[in-house]
A = this chain, B = another copy of it.
C-alpha cells in the first residue's frame, strides 16, 4: 500500500530509463522527487510525468517543449495566473499533434503500399 514511492533504481527499471536519465530530468525540472535523507523517492506524480515525458519523446518533442506541456497537466489550483498563457501554448501543441496524427496516417499508408510492392517482388523471385 504505502510503497507509493519508488527509489531511483525501481523507477528506472519500471520505465526502462537509466538512473542518469532520471537525475537529468530532475536537473531539467521535469521531475521533482522528494528526498529521504539524500536519496530520491519518486512519487506517483513523478511517474505520471515520466510517462508523459517518454510519450512526448516518441513524438519528437524536445525536453524543453515537454516541460511546458507538463505544466498544463498538473496545475492544481495555484498558478492560475499563468493558466492563460499555458492554455494558449497547449492549444498550439494540440494542433501540432492533430497535424502529425494525420500525417502519420499518410506515412502508414505509403509505407504499407511500399511493403506490398516489396512483397510482390519477393514472391516473383
Contact = CB atoms under 8 A, between A and B. Distances in A.
Contacts of A34: none
> How many A residues are at the interface, by size bracket?
35 or more
Contacts of A93: 111
Secondary structure call for the A interface: helix
Q: How many copies does the complex hold?
A: 2
Given A97-B111, A114-B73, A87 B57 contact: no
A107 B94 CA distance: 9
Contacts of A118: 72, 75, 83, 86-87, 90
Interface of A: 55, 57-61, 69, 72-73, 75, 80, 83-84, 86-87, 90-91, 93-94, 97-98, 100-101, 103-105, 107-108, 111-112, 114-115, 118-119, 121-122, 125
